[in-house]
A = this chain, B = another copy of it.
Amino acid sequence: MKIAFQGEAGAYSEQAVFNYFGQVKTLPCESFDAVFDAVNAGKCDAALVPIENSLAGSIHQNYDLLLKNNLHINGEYPLRVRHCLIANPGVKMTEIKKAISHPQALGQCAGYLRSHEIKPEQVYDTAGSVKMLKESGSRDTAAIASRRAAELYGMEILEEGIEDNPENYTRFLAISKEVTTPEGEAKTSIVFTLKNVPGALFKALSVFALRDIDLTKIESRPLQGSPWEYLFYIDFIGATHEAHVQKALDHLDEYAVMLRVLGSYARFKG
């Protein structure tokens, strides 16, 4: 098995790949576009992409890519994000004046950095910041990244779990060309558009509410070329092979201009 992810070796996404798929080969990709392209081109068996973070919100680019590509969601995995303050070997905490990392990681450790008088500086990637730090050999700079990134580059962890809010999870989706049928409790992800008329979204949600189907997420994205009209992405409990779900989707199809099932997959249980 080879699994694609976005980022460099040691990225949080790669950690999520190993946690979810076990000991597989990984294919690091420069961008989310490149991840989807790798799946389409058969360069990997599947990919794992982040879809939302419990603090920062949705990763909208991946919602857009799910729509653009004709792939299927086969699973979900929530990764607990634990940021480490990483330095070159032998460097002491008191020497650190500056921290480099991806803007989102820096933002999630803003309180910690302020209280330790460490100046944040943005770079393109978390694991990449560790690589840069190793290459520079700098003693006044730390990187913020995963434990795995520190180990991979032979660097030292000065402190682990430096994020301001411990409720920091990133939910990943496994995607591939295959349609899978989940066993046990499942989730289904769909995307649809509606006529721009009063009450349209209310009617769309009624198809789930009237059948006691629980929604877990709703996301709206702009409909390209139609300012102030939207695509809706909904996740709900249930799988397309269940009769009540199929009836709800048939019912939604009566109101929807466009409706696509992105996949039914096992709901993650921690």
Contacts and interface: CB of A to CB of B under 8 A. Distances in A.
Contacts of A171: 228
Contacts of A29: none
A53 interface: yes
- A interface, over-half SS: mixed
Interface in A224-257: 224-228, 230
Interface of A: 52-57, 60, 78, 165, 167, 169, 171, 198-199, 201-203, 205-206, 208-209, 212-222, 224-228, 230
Nearest to A226: B167
A220 B222 contact: no
B213 A198 contact: yes
A251 B60 CA distance: 32
Contacts of A220: 217-220
Closest 3 A/B residue pairs (Cβ): A54-B227, A202-B209, A198-B214
A224 B217 CA distance: 15
Contacts of A221: 57
